[in-house]
């Protein structure tokens, strides 16, 4: 692993400490986990943005149709 020096506002650090205490976790391990999750989320969001920007109207229409079918399936399943 590599070490990074990350300066954060004091209220953010206090929140991290509180969350680590609540989860009974080491503060640095929790910070590492949260940073990794944030990077993963940002990469996924960027991927979805690129896919949406490159989608053709036909592909978008197909995706909407699939989503609507799935929602109808869920609504039907909830009615049981």
Reported confidence tier of residue 72, pLDDT bands at 50, 70, 90: very high
Q: pLDDT (tens digit, 9 = 90+) per residue, 9-53?
A: 999 999 999 999 999 999 999 999 999 999 999 999 999 999 889
Instruction: Give me the pLDDT at residue 76, please.
Output: 83
Are 47 and 40 in contact by the 8 Å Cβ rule? The answer is: no
pLDDT, residue 30, reads: 97
pTM over 0.75: no
- φ/ψ of 33, rounded to 5, equals -65, -45
* 30 CB-near residues (< 8 Å, 6+ apart): 16, 19, 20, 23
């Amino acid at each position: 692993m590599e070490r990074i020096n990350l300066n954060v506002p004091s209220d953010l650090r206090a929140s991290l400490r509180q969350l680590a205490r609540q989860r009974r976790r080491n503060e640095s391990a929790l910070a590492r986990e949260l940073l990794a999750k944030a990077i993963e989320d940002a990469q996924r969001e960027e991927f979805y943005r690129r896919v949406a920007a490159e989608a053709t109207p036909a592909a978008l229409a197909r995706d909407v149709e699939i989503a609507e079918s799935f929602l109808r399936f869920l609504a039907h399943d909830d009615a049981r």
